[in-house]
Amino acid sequence: MGMIPSIEQIDELHHKYAPSDDAYDLIHTHCVIVATIARQVARHANALFVRRCTLPSDAPERSGGFDSGDVRGGVIPPRLIDEHLVVIGGLLHDIGTYTVLKHDGTDGEPLKFSRKRYILHGLNGYELLLREGVDESIAEFARNHTGVGLTKAAVIAQDLPLPPDDYVPVNLEQEIVMYADKFHSKSVPPKFLTVDAYTERAARFGEANRREWLDLVDKWGVPDVPALAERYGMRII
């Protein structure tokens, strides 16, 4: 079994692979935000699970508002979610994006990702983490978070520069991080996305992709994006 890194070790990895302070600020902050959203989603799901296990079956459902100001809606998960694992995975899921920068903050140009190589960032992050001795169960958070689940069929159909394989979450924790990732963009400047905004993005890849996204929304609930945007001082689309 490999290493399960601490929060401090994760920050060290970000500093190690960030080519500049600007790159660290953009990518590490994004990972912190995704980990925050993922923890909120996991905590909300666990609250629903515990409530079902401890209250009578005829107890009234909660109202449709935000629970503790964090997440609204969602369904009861089949088991408790490992909140610590979700945070670790969220903090590391985009470590590979340091490898796909076209302008990395050292050349005097604004940060910019390589459009052609960006699709490799998940696999690059997975391989990077394995080389660092990180356990595969953690490294998979990097490998399996692209879009709403990148299948082998999609890799082949779109002729993507990836080894033909499934790059999809293999457990609920990975799925939550993949889902949380869709609510924040590493654009320059970075921004938050609403459910509707990402629905439009998902639809560009077909109706099935849009439906998969909306199924995730129904499953995990909707985070309070305006509150998060206010907390981090970022815009919303």
Specify the pLDDT at position 70: 87
Q: Is residue 48 assigned to a domain?
A: yes
Q: Is residue 1 assigned to a domain?
A: no
How far apart are the C-alpha atoms of 113 and 214, rounded to whole Å? 27
Domains held by the chain: number = 1
Specify the pLDDT at position 194: 98
Q: Is residue 2 assigned to a domain?
A: no
Q: Is residue 232 assigned to a domain?
A: yes
Q: Kindly provide the b/e burial profile for residues 115-139, where b requires at least 16 CB atoms within 10 angstroms of the residue's own CB.
A: eeeebbbbbbbbbbbbebebeebbb
The residues that bridge with 121 in the sheet, in sequence order, are none
pTM: 0.94
Q: Is residue 173 assigned to a domain?
A: yes
Name the residue range of residue 96's domain. Answer: 7-236
How far apart are the C-alpha atoms of 69 and 51, rounded to whole Å? 18
pLDDT one digit per residue (tens) for the chain, 237 residues: 899 999 999 999 999 999 999 999 999 999 999 999 999 999 999 999 998 787 665 555 554 444 444 899 999 999 999 999 999 999 999 999 999 999 999 998 999 999 999 999 999 999 999 999 999 999 999 999 999 999 999 999 999 999 999 999 999 999 999 999 999 999 999 999 999 999 999 999 999 999 999 999 999 999 999 999 999 999 999
Specify the pLDDT at position 58: 58
Specify the pLDDT at position 64: 44
Q: Is residue 67 assigned to a domain?
A: yes
